[in-house]
Protein backbone atom coordinates (compact mmCIF):
# COMPACT_ATOMS: atom_id res chain seq x y z
CA UNK A 1 0.00 0.00 0.00
CA UNK A 2 1.26 3.48 -0.91
CA UNK A 3 0.02 6.27 1.39
CA UNK A 4 -0.10 10.03 0.99
CA UNK A 5 1.19 12.32 3.79
CA UNK A 6 -2.41 13.11 4.86
CA UNK A 7 -3.35 9.44 5.24
CA UNK A 8 -4.33 8.71 8.89
CA UNK A 9 -1.74 6.84 11.01
CA UNK A 10 -1.43 3.14 10.19
CA UNK A 11 -0.72 0.33 12.63
CA UNK A 12 0.68 -3.13 11.93
CA UNK A 13 -1.85 -5.98 11.91
CA UNK A 14 -0.67 -8.92 14.09
CA UNK A 15 -2.46 -11.49 11.91
CA UNK A 16 -1.10 -10.13 8.62
CA UNK A 17 2.68 -9.91 8.99
CA UNK A 18 3.30 -9.74 5.24
CA UNK A 19 1.39 -6.48 4.72
CA UNK A 20 3.59 -3.49 3.93
CA UNK A 21 2.72 0.20 3.66
CA UNK A 22 4.90 3.04 2.39
CA UNK A 23 4.12 6.60 3.44
CA UNK A 24 5.56 9.26 1.14
CA UNK A 25 6.74 12.56 2.58
CA UNK A 26 4.84 14.59 -0.02
CA UNK A 27 2.14 14.04 -2.61
CA UNK A 28 4.02 13.79 -5.91
CA UNK A 29 1.14 12.35 -7.92
CA UNK A 30 -0.17 8.84 -8.32
CA UNK A 31 2.35 7.91 -11.04
CA UNK A 32 5.30 8.56 -8.74
CA UNK A 33 3.50 6.71 -5.93
CA UNK A 34 3.14 3.71 -8.23
CA UNK A 35 6.80 3.73 -9.19
CA UNK A 36 7.73 3.96 -5.49
CA UNK A 37 5.85 0.76 -4.77
CA UNK A 38 7.24 -1.05 -7.79
CA UNK A 39 10.82 -0.09 -7.00
CA UNK A 40 10.33 -1.23 -3.41
CA UNK A 41 9.23 -4.76 -4.40
CA UNK A 42 11.92 -5.20 -7.06
CA UNK A 43 13.83 -8.46 -6.42
CA UNK A 44 11.41 -9.26 -3.57
CA UNK A 45 8.85 -11.01 -5.78
CA UNK A 46 8.38 -12.85 -9.05
CA UNK A 47 5.77 -10.34 -10.18
CA UNK A 48 3.79 -7.39 -8.82
CA UNK A 49 0.21 -6.27 -9.43
CA UNK A 50 -0.94 -2.67 -8.98
CA UNK A 51 -4.61 -2.01 -8.20
CA UNK A 52 -6.55 1.02 -6.94
CA UNK A 53 -7.32 0.91 -3.23
CA UNK A 54 -11.03 1.65 -3.79
CA UNK A 55 -11.27 -1.90 -5.20
CA UNK A 56 -13.61 -0.90 -7.99
CA UNK A 57 -11.27 -2.88 -10.21
CA UNK A 58 -12.19 -6.56 -9.88
CA UNK A 59 -9.65 -8.14 -7.54
CA UNK A 60 -11.03 -11.60 -8.34
CA UNK A 61 -9.30 -11.31 -11.72
CA UNK A 62 -5.89 -11.46 -10.04
CA UNK A 63 -5.78 -15.24 -10.52
CA UNK A 64 -6.17 -14.69 -14.26
CA UNK A 65 -3.32 -12.16 -14.20
CA UNK A 66 -1.10 -14.73 -12.49
CA UNK A 67 -2.07 -17.44 -14.98
CA UNK A 68 -0.99 -15.16 -17.84
CA UNK A 69 2.30 -14.54 -16.02
CA UNK A 70 2.90 -18.26 -15.46
CA UNK A 71 2.23 -18.79 -19.18
CA UNK A 72 5.14 -16.48 -20.01
CA UNK A 73 3.79 -12.92 -20.04
CA UNK A 74 5.97 -10.25 -18.44
CA UNK A 75 3.26 -7.57 -18.60
CA UNK A 76 -0.48 -8.10 -18.18
CA UNK A 77 -2.87 -5.17 -18.66
CA UNK A 78 -6.25 -4.97 -16.97
CA UNK A 79 -8.85 -3.65 -19.43
CA UNK A 80 -12.30 -2.56 -18.31
CA UNK A 81 -15.01 -3.97 -20.57
CA UNK A 82 -17.28 -0.91 -20.58
CA UNK A 83 -17.87 2.52 -19.05
CA UNK A 84 -21.56 2.08 -18.35
CA UNK A 85 -20.98 2.69 -14.63
CA UNK A 86 -19.43 6.13 -15.26
CA UNK A 87 -21.40 9.35 -15.11
CA UNK A 88 -22.09 10.87 -18.53
CA UNK A 89 -19.37 13.55 -18.33
CA UNK A 90 -16.64 11.15 -17.23
CA UNK A 91 -17.68 8.58 -19.83
CA UNK A 92 -17.33 10.94 -22.78
CA UNK A 93 -14.25 12.75 -21.48
CA UNK A 94 -12.53 9.37 -21.06
CA UNK A 95 -13.44 8.35 -24.61
CA UNK A 96 -12.17 11.69 -25.87
CA UNK A 97 -8.98 11.24 -23.84
CA UNK A 98 -8.02 7.99 -25.58
CA UNK A 99 -8.91 9.27 -29.05
CA UNK A 100 -6.96 12.49 -28.53
CA UNK A 101 -3.92 10.64 -27.18
CA UNK A 102 -3.87 8.35 -30.22
CA UNK A 103 -4.29 11.37 -32.50
CA UNK A 104 -1.25 12.94 -30.87
CA UNK A 105 0.78 9.80 -31.51
CA UNK A 106 0.84 8.45 -27.94
CA UNK A 107 0.55 4.66 -27.93
CA UNK A 108 -1.74 3.69 -25.05
CA UNK A 109 -4.30 0.93 -24.53
CA UNK A 110 -7.94 1.99 -24.48
CA UNK A 111 -9.73 1.59 -21.13
CA UNK A 112 -6.54 0.57 -19.31
CA UNK A 113 -5.69 2.55 -16.19
CA UNK A 114 -3.15 1.25 -13.66
CA UNK A 115 -4.47 -2.26 -13.00
CA UNK A 116 -1.59 -4.34 -14.33
CA UNK A 117 0.93 -7.05 -13.59
CA UNK A 118 4.66 -6.61 -14.10
CA UNK A 119 7.22 -9.37 -13.81
CA UNK A 120 10.35 -8.76 -11.77
CA UNK A 121 12.29 -8.54 -15.04
CA UNK A 122 9.92 -5.87 -16.37
CA UNK A 123 10.20 -3.90 -13.12
CA UNK A 124 13.98 -4.01 -13.45
CA UNK A 125 13.76 -2.48 -16.91
CA UNK A 126 11.23 0.10 -15.70
CA UNK A 127 13.72 1.21 -13.02
CA UNK A 128 16.10 2.26 -15.79
CA UNK A 129 13.65 4.95 -16.96
CA UNK A 130 14.60 7.91 -14.79
CA UNK A 131 12.37 10.69 -16.10
CA UNK A 132 10.49 12.78 -13.55
CA UNK A 133 7.39 13.28 -15.70
CA UNK A 134 6.07 9.74 -15.66
CA UNK A 135 3.25 8.48 -17.83
CA UNK A 136 3.24 4.77 -17.10
CA UNK A 137 0.30 3.92 -19.36
CA UNK A 138 2.43 4.68 -22.41
CA UNK A 139 5.85 3.93 -20.96
CA UNK A 140 5.05 0.33 -20.06
CA UNK A 141 3.47 -0.33 -23.47
CA UNK A 142 6.73 0.78 -25.12
CA UNK A 143 8.88 -1.49 -22.95
CA UNK A 144 8.15 -4.50 -25.11
CA UNK A 145 8.26 -8.04 -23.63
CA UNK A 146 5.37 -10.45 -24.01
CA UNK A 147 2.17 -8.60 -23.16
CA UNK A 148 -1.30 -9.96 -22.42
CA UNK A 149 -4.69 -8.49 -21.48
CA UNK A 150 -7.29 -9.38 -18.86
CA UNK A 151 -10.80 -7.93 -19.15
CA UNK A 152 -12.87 -7.02 -16.10
CA UNK A 153 -16.03 -5.20 -15.08
CA UNK A 154 -15.78 -2.15 -12.82
CA UNK A 155 -17.72 -2.44 -9.57
CA UNK A 156 -19.74 0.31 -7.96
CA UNK A 157 -17.90 2.49 -5.47
CA UNK A 158 -19.09 1.60 -1.97
CA UNK A 159 -17.57 4.50 -0.02
CA UNK A 160 -16.28 7.99 -0.78
CA UNK A 161 -16.03 9.63 -4.16
CA UNK A 162 -13.46 10.04 -6.91
CA UNK A 163 -10.66 12.50 -6.14
CA UNK A 164 -9.62 12.75 -9.79
CA UNK A 165 -11.50 15.74 -11.23
CA UNK A 166 -11.54 16.90 -14.84
CA UNK A 167 -8.74 19.40 -14.16
CA UNK A 168 -6.38 16.62 -13.07
CA UNK A 169 -7.44 14.45 -16.00
CA UNK A 170 -6.59 17.21 -18.47
CA UNK A 171 -3.24 17.81 -16.76
CA UNK A 172 -2.54 14.07 -16.85
CA UNK A 173 -3.35 13.93 -20.57
CA UNK A 174 -1.15 16.93 -21.38
CA UNK A 175 1.73 15.41 -19.42
CA UNK A 176 1.35 12.20 -21.41
CA UNK A 177 1.31 14.05 -24.73
CA UNK A 178 4.38 16.19 -24.01
CA UNK A 179 6.26 13.20 -22.57
CA UNK A 180 5.73 10.88 -25.53
CA UNK A 181 4.90 12.98 -28.58
CA UNK A 182 6.35 15.89 -30.55
CA UNK A 183 3.16 16.23 -32.60
CA UNK A 184 2.25 19.56 -30.89
CA UNK A 185 5.61 21.01 -31.97
CA UNK A 186 5.05 19.83 -35.52
CA UNK A 187 1.56 21.32 -35.48
CA UNK A 188 3.08 24.66 -34.44
CA UNK A 189 5.55 24.41 -37.36
CA UNK A 190 2.80 23.57 -39.86
CA UNK A 191 0.59 26.35 -38.54
CA UNK A 192 3.46 28.83 -38.77
CA UNK A 193 4.18 27.84 -42.38
CA UNK A 194 0.49 28.06 -43.30
CA UNK A 195 0.15 31.53 -41.79
CA UNK A 196 3.36 32.65 -43.51
CA UNK A 197 2.00 31.53 -46.90
CA UNK A 198 -1.34 33.18 -46.13
CA UNK A 199 0.39 36.47 -45.34
CA UNK A 200 2.43 36.25 -48.58
CA UNK A 201 -0.70 35.71 -50.68
CA UNK A 202 -2.52 38.49 -48.85
CA UNK A 203 0.44 40.82 -49.43
CA UNK A 204 0.40 40.00 -53.14
CA UNK A 205 -3.33 40.70 -53.22
CA UNK A 206 -2.89 44.08 -51.52
CA UNK A 207 -0.02 44.95 -53.89
CA UNK A 208 -2.16 44.06 -56.92
CA UNK A 209 -5.12 46.13 -55.70
CA UNK A 210 -2.88 49.10 -54.94
CA UNK A 211 -0.91 49.12 -58.21
CA UNK A 212 -3.29 47.80 -60.85
CA UNK A 213 -6.69 49.07 -59.71
CA UNK A 214 -8.24 52.28 -58.47
CA UNK A 215 -9.83 50.63 -55.43
CA UNK A 216 -8.93 51.80 -51.96
CA UNK A 217 -7.76 49.31 -49.35
CA UNK A 218 -10.04 49.41 -46.31
CA UNK A 219 -7.53 48.36 -43.76
CA UNK A 220 -7.90 49.46 -40.14
CA UNK A 221 -10.43 46.89 -38.97
CA UNK A 222 -8.86 44.03 -40.90
CA UNK A 223 -5.37 45.06 -39.77
CA UNK A 224 -6.38 45.01 -36.11
CA UNK A 225 -8.06 41.63 -36.50
CA UNK A 226 -5.01 40.17 -38.24
CA UNK A 227 -2.65 41.58 -35.61
CA UNK A 228 -4.70 40.12 -32.76
CA UNK A 229 -4.96 36.78 -34.55
CA UNK A 230 -1.25 36.48 -35.27
CA UNK A 231 -0.32 37.67 -31.78
CA UNK A 232 -2.53 34.96 -30.30
CA UNK A 233 -0.96 32.32 -32.52
CA UNK A 234 2.53 33.46 -31.52
CA UNK A 235 1.72 33.30 -27.81
CA UNK A 236 0.13 29.87 -28.22
CA UNK A 237 3.19 28.61 -30.09
CA UNK A 238 5.54 30.01 -27.47
CA UNK A 239 3.46 28.31 -24.78
CA UNK A 240 3.72 24.90 -26.46
CA UNK A 241 7.46 25.29 -27.02
CA UNK A 242 7.89 26.56 -23.47
CA UNK A 243 6.14 23.46 -22.12
CA UNK A 244 8.73 21.22 -23.75
CA UNK A 245 11.60 23.43 -22.62
CA UNK A 246 10.19 23.36 -19.09
CA UNK A 247 10.18 19.56 -19.12
CA UNK A 248 13.81 19.55 -20.27
CA UNK A 249 14.65 21.95 -17.43
CA UNK A 250 12.92 19.76 -14.83
CA UNK A 251 14.54 16.56 -16.12
CA UNK A 252 18.00 18.16 -16.13
CA UNK A 253 17.81 18.73 -12.35
CA UNK A 254 17.48 14.97 -11.74
CA UNK A 255 15.54 15.48 -8.53
CA UNK A 256 14.13 12.39 -6.78
CA UNK A 257 10.64 11.44 -7.91
CA UNK A 258 9.50 10.70 -4.38
CA UNK A 259 10.74 10.67 -0.78
CA UNK A 260 9.87 7.87 1.62
CA UNK A 261 8.78 9.09 5.05
CA UNK A 262 7.74 5.87 6.75
CA UNK A 263 7.83 2.14 6.20
CA UNK A 264 5.25 0.02 8.04
CA UNK A 265 5.39 -3.75 8.02
CA UNK A 266 2.91 -6.24 9.44
* 8 Å CB contact between 83 and 95: yes
Q: Are residues 234 and 173 in the same domain?
A: no
137 and 14 share one domain: yes
Residue 47 sits in which domain range? Answer: 2-181
Inside any domain, residue 259: no
What pLDDT shows up at residue 217?
62
Which pLDDT belongs to residue 120? 92
Same domain? 45 vs 140: yes
Question: What is the per-residue pLDDT for 111?
Answer: 83
Structural domain includes residue 221: yes
pLDDT at 118 (0 to 100): 93
* Cβ neighbours of 220 (radius 10 Å): 7
Residues 188 and 177 in one domain: no
Same domain as 190, residue 101: no
pTM assigned to the model: 0.69
| Residues in CB range of 11: below 8 A, 6 or more apart | 264
Contact call for residues 143 and 126 (beta carbons, < 8 A): yes
Residue 43: CB partners within 8 Å, gap ≥ 6? 120, 124
> How far is residue 180 from each of residues 98, 215, 255, measured CA to CA in Å?
14, 52, 20
State the pLDDT at residue 109: 84
Residues of the chain whose pLDDT is less than 70?
1-17, 84-89, 157-166, 216-222, 224-225, 265-266
Q: Which residues are within 8 A (CB) of 1 and not within 5 positions of it... i.e. 6 or more apart?
A: 19, 20, 21, 22, 53
Identify whether residues 173 and 227 lie together within a single domain.
no
* Cα gap 136→127, rounded to integer Å: 12
Amino acid sequence: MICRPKTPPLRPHPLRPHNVALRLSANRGHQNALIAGLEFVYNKCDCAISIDCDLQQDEEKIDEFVQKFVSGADIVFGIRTSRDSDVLLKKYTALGFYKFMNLMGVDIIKNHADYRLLSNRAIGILKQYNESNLFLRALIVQMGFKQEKVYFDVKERELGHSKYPLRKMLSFAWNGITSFSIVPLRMVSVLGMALFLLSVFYGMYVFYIKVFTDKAIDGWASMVIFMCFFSGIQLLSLGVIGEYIGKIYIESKKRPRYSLQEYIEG
